Amino acid sequence: MTFRPSVILAPQTVTAEIGLEPVINFLNNAAGIAFHDMNYGVDEWVGQTALSLPPEVLHRSRVIFGGLPGLIPIICRVRFDSIPEYLDWLASLDPVQLRDESIEHFRTEAANMAKEAGLRLEIPPADQLLADVNASLNLMEELYKAKKIQDTHVEFPELVIEGHMLLNDPSVLQHQLVDLLRYLWDHVLAADWEHHLPILQESVDAFRQVDLRGMTGFEAIRAVTGRDMRGIMVDELDNIDHLIFVPGAHLGPYLAHYVDGRKMWIVFPARVPEGVKPRSPEITRSELFVRVSALADDTRLRILELLTKHDELCAQDIITMLDLSQSAASRHLRQLSATGYLTERRLDGNKCYRLNPERIEGTLSALSNFLLKR
């Protein structure tokens, strides 16, 4: 097995733009609802909405968004200003072509992941993946082992098995996909989109005044999202030359990204550039709520306190020193990193963390400005 360096340079510069991207926003919110229990610190609306759905709708959402690797990247790559028009387009596609493209996308991404991990892995042909669900499960298991990913919902085998059954009946797959998305739009997400549209548009307008020309991918991400991703998205940005930033309403502290070839969409919590006073106080309240919520937990405070005494610790060090389970540590570290209180990097396949004093000072300053109007 070959070993790659811990940091891989992104392209020297990227083309970056900001947009509402209704389709990306819609699908990202739908996926967030489907797996509302996987990310701690997200908007309470997400969990409340998920629990209000009929159980069969929530289960179908989990199958569509978690059991069909390759499908979502295929259906999110188009641009429509109207979600009903998008759903009509989706219903007009040839179901076999949709199925086949999703399988090929899965194979391509699997090959890329294996290459990035330095893994010699034979990717089964499409007909084998379609005929044998174990071929898909085994491939996914090998990839996630190689990437040392333990906290993702995609490995749920029962979802992959149900998704595999749909792949073998593409007309039913398309029908269930379109019906599910129509239901979510009509009953939940249309009203939510209209409610948050002014805030999302304000974020887009504000960042369109920022000059992102000549930036690397990491520089553009930091300028728009406020996050330093140099130690995290090293592989994902390696072959990207076009970034599209999309403000979202329900991500909490997290970012989401979708890739199509050399293009990447990054969904970030709606905000305005540093130093710009937002027109809507809801943007400020929302960001402050996310930052303060991350601190409202004794374990997370203990992790931050521990890192005041050490320049850098890897996840296993923190697990041992604080006597945490791996799942608990992963959950807390992910939220602290997403909120920006910790910087994260991969070192020899391990995730290692440093305290980010600048973010802590920024939170205290923002809270003071908001409450004391200084």
Select from 1.10.238.10, 3.40.640.10, 1.20.140.10, 1.10.10.10 the CATH code of 297-372: 1.10.10.10
Every domain of the chain with CATH number 1.10.10.10 lies at 297-372
pTM recorded for the entire structure: 0.83
Q: What is the pLDDT along the chain (374 residues), one digit of tens a residue?
A: 333 444 444 457 899 999 999 999 999 999 999 998 887 777 889 999 999 999 999 999 999 999 998 899 899 989 999 999 999 999 999 999 999 999 999 998 888 777 776 778 889 999 999 999 999 888 888 777 655 544 444 447 899 999 999 999 999 999 999 999 999 999 999 999 999 999 999 999 999 999 999 999 999 999 999 888 877 776 778 889 999 999 999 988 889 999 888 899 999 999 998 877 777 677 677 778 888 888 989 999 999 999 999 999 999 999 999 999 988 898 899 889 888 899 888 877 788 999 999 888 888 888 887 888 75
How far, in Å, are 26, 75, 76, 139, 167 from residue 182 at the CA level?
11, 14, 15, 32, 20
How far, in Å, are 109, 165, 167, 168, 239 from residue 161 at the CA level?
20, 6, 10, 11, 31
Helix axes 157-167, 95-116, angle to 10 degrees: 140
The 10s digit of each residue's pLDDT in 77-116 is 899 999 999 999 999 999 999 999 999 999 988 887 777 7
The 10s digit of each residue's pLDDT in 53-75 is 999 999 999 999 999 988 998 99
